[in-house]
Amino acid sequence: MSGLLALDAGDTAEAARSAARALELCRAARCPGAGAIVNLQARAAFLSGDLAGAITFAEKARSLNLAAKDEEELGNSSRIIADAEIGAGRHDAAARAYSTALALDKKLGLDAKILLDLLGLGTSARDEGRTRAALDYFERARAVARAAGDETGTTEIDALIEALPPANQETRESIPVR
């Protein structure tokens, strides 16, 4: 808990220290939540700019979460990997990881995380120069935000769509949210 509070406060170093302490206690008690704790370490590494460390921690968390059959945390692991891969400019790897997270989050009905996955896929496509695909993902994200009543999110997504090159916005059809 203190690691999450530190992360929310922007103190990635304290979040990492708290997660390391929690992981030691978890291992000693053989608790089933080790994957969630390692995800916290991965997120702290990512937010501090350590992309390689974030990927290493998230891959370790993914293994722990697979073993524990914790699909929600498995989705979190995949999303952290995807975020770090985007930061490293590896868009194909990011898209694969976001797609994995999206499939899990859709299965579990986690709308807020589905939104993050779609935004990540859109950002990856945009950064790779695939504005048509980016537009499709952003439109799907906007539909999720609207369905959730998230006016702020909808407005932010509208801005992402508006920022796309106009030449790629001609006669398009939205991809329905599945």
Tokens found for residue 94: 């990011």
Q: pTM of the entire structure?
A: 0.81
**Residue (of 30, 29, 108, 117) closest to 77 by Cα position:** 117
| Average pLDDT score, the chain | 88
Residue 5 has pLDDT above 50, yes or no: yes
What CATH number does the domain located at 1-109 have?
1.25.40.10
Average of per-residue pLDDT across 147-171: 84
Residue 43 C-alpha from the chain's centroid: 10
Average of per-residue pLDDT across 124-148: 96
Angstrom distances, CA of residue 114 to CA of 28, 95, 99, 122, 146: 34, 14, 10, 12, 13
18-54 confidence digits (pLDDT tens): 766 766 666 667 787 899 999 999 999 999 999 999 9
How high is the pLDDT of residue 7?
Answer: 62
How high is the pLDDT of residue 137?
Answer: 98
Cite the residue boundaries of each domain of the chain with CATH code 1.25.40.10.
1-109
Tokens found for residue 142: 């906007």
